[in-house]
Amino acid sequence: MKDSGNIRYFLGIEVDKSDASFFISQNKYVMNLLKEFHMPSAKGTKPPMDPQVKLLADSGEYLPDPTPYQHLIGKLIYLTITRLDIAFTVHTLSQFMNKPYASCKTCAKIPKKLSRQGVLLASSSAVVLTAYLDSDWTGCPLSRKSTTGFCVLLGKSPILWKTKKQKMEARSAAEAEYRAMALTTCGVVCLTQLLKKLGIKFA
């Protein structure tokens, strides 16, 4: 191993450092993505896909060649490293990787004006883990399974986030919430053990 100095750009991830914080983004990665897929003037809502939109199988014309769509979704999955706001959208669209249709491609848009979004990490903050979670009971119209979404902050800095379909169907909204809590708790416990190994003491 060697020390290459202060990090500025690594594997498509840009790091802007100040005395108070680190700002991690993928601006260049997004601009290259827009150019590669011919979306220089892509427009969309915030978040890119309305959470109320339910994509169904066999509800439209399938794309003749799924390869470009699969390539785009793979790129968007990597973009979720710094873009919490598109995690749900990418999670939903990735379910149609094998047989995508035109409506899926329409939803897979990244607004150019949002390319400078990223994650702000404070240089110093209280060593306190705070978790936020939610679930949508039977939100998937294909399997009737619920989706868990959570975000964990260290102080005011987001350090872990995830959206994942639950393994089994929940019989009630309360059951879906408990499963979301269980998955979030696992994430918090893992982070706690990692921080302790790094020598960080909790307040």
pLDDT in tens, 144-186: 888 888 999 888 888 888 888 888 888 899 999 999 999 999 9
Give the pLDDT mean for 30-51: 66
Alpha helices in 57-172 (DSSP H): 67-79, 87-93, 102-107
Residue 50 pLDDT greater than 80, yes or no: no
Integer Cα distance of 94 and 77 in angstroms = 9
Taking all residues of the chain, what is their mean pLDDT, rounded to a whole number? Answer: 79
Q: For residue 119, what are the β-bridge partners?
A: 24
Percent with pLDDT over 70 in the chain? 80
CA Rg, the chain, in Å? 19
Q: For residue 158, what are the β-bridge partners?
A: 153
What's the token pair of residue 48? Answer: 């890119």
- For the entire predicted model, the pTM comes to 0.70
Residue 102 pLDDT greater than 80, yes or no: no
In which residue are the tokens 């059951």 written? 175
Give the pLDDT mean for 12-24: 85
Helix (H, G, I), strand (E, B) or coil at 125: coil
Which pLDDT value is given to residue 83? 83
Integer Cα distance of 181 and 147 in angstroms = 12
Is there a cis peptide before residue 47, judged by omega within 30 degrees of 0? yes
What's the token pair of residue 33? Answer: 């993505």
Which pLDDT value is given to residue 70? 84
Residue 52 pLDDT greater than 80, yes or no: no
Q: pLDDT for 103-132, tens place per residue?
A: 666 666 665 555 678 888 887 777 888 999
Lowest mean pLDDT among 20-29, 38-47, 57-66, 161-170: 38-47
Beta strands (DSSP E) in the chain are 9-10, 13-17, 21-25, 118-122, 129-136, 147-154, 157-165
Integer Cα distance of 183 and 161 in angstroms = 11
Fill in the DSSP letter of residue 165. E
- How many CA atoms within 13 Å lie on the side-chain side of 166? 29
* Residue 50 CB coordination number (10 Å): 11
In which residue are the tokens 């249709």 written? 101
